[in-house]
Amino acid sequence: MRKGRWRRRSPRRARVEMIPLIDCMFLLLTFFIYIATAMVLQRGIPVDLAHASSGEPLTKEVKPIHVFIRSSGELYLEETLVTEADLSFRLGALAASDAPIGSKSPRPVVVNADKGVLHEKVMEVLDLARESGVSEVVLAVEPKEAASR
């Protein structure tokens, strides 16, 4: 056997390929950005609220029921378009069924009325809420500090 033919090779140094790692990092970054934007809670119907300096956040442990009144007069219960008769029925059922344990009063109702809504329409919704058995109704406002920015 010839000794020269079977020489030992020196071990090659291991290399870390960076391009596939960069591709994976961009893929992960894209994935997390997409998931983060999908996790943002889009709550309700967009309305242009009136401004008030005395507005306070609702500090209840109970999740309120949101009623939206758009400037066109459309009524929404949470995110569902409803009629006035349907609003009264659904509001009463929703408020009574989700009342906290040990509490006699149902969940509070937050009325988000657009600036352009007639006062009469807001009063109709307040009347419907009262007829359906809701004892606590709150009108949503935009703080004046945020309006001046």
Task: Write out the chain's pLDDT in tens, 149 residues.
Answer: 555 566 677 777 888 888 889 999 999 999 999 888 877 666 667 776 777 766 666 666 667 888 889 888 888 888 888 888 888 888 877 766 655 565 555 678 888 888 888 888 889 888 888 888 777 888 888 877 654 44
- Residues 88, 35: contact at Cβ < 8 Å? no
Examine residue 72 and state whether it is found in any structural domain, yes or no.
Answer: yes
**Closest C-alpha among 19, 42, 38, 41 to residue 30:** 38
Examine residue 139 and state whether it is found in any structural domain, yes or no.
Answer: yes
Examine residue 35 and state whether it is found in any structural domain, yes or no.
Answer: no
Instruction: Look up the CATH number of the domain holding residue 100.
Output: 3.30.420.270
Cβ neighbors of 17 (< 8 A, separation 6 or more) are none
Number of structural domains the chain divides into = 1
Examine residue 12 and state whether it is found in any structural domain, yes or no.
Answer: no
pTM of the model: 0.60
